[in-house]
Structure 1
Amino acid sequence: MARNNQLVVPGAKAALSKMKVEIAQEYGIAFTPDGYNGNLITRDAGTIGGNITRRLVQMAEQSLGGRM
């Protein structure tokens, strides 16, 4: 199965990684940005992923402004 999740915007990977760390810190989740995170429980991983999605949607809505 081919992976189809290539980043379109250069530098997006670094920004997403930074966002992961910020969200983990906000929620008190032990997260290592450059190491092994296999010890995360599903709830913590979902908290991080859900908040990333929420922030990205907010950013898109703000950038669209009143153009819809």
Structure 2
Amino acid sequence: MFSDRYKNTQQYSGQKKIAGVCCQVAQKVDLPVWVVRLLMVLLALKFTWPCIIGYVIGWLCLTNKK
């Protein structure tokens, strides 16, 4: 019933660069991965520490694909 509404939170090793956070966010919001990575870099230039903390929290929330 809820499978269409909620997607799983697994890391995908095919496109991940550091921890796969941008890949997961891109999948959730249905954007290309390069757009999410570009936005992350641009935001990190202005808001460095909040972006680092948010990235670490995103990394910790993901589960490993087995």
Q: Please report the TM-score for the alignment, with normalisation by the length of structure 2.
A: 0.35
Task: Select the structure with the greater relative contact order (CA < 8 A; seq sep ≥ 6).
Answer: 2
TM-score normalized with structure 1 length: 0.34
Q: Which structure has the larger Rg?
A: 1
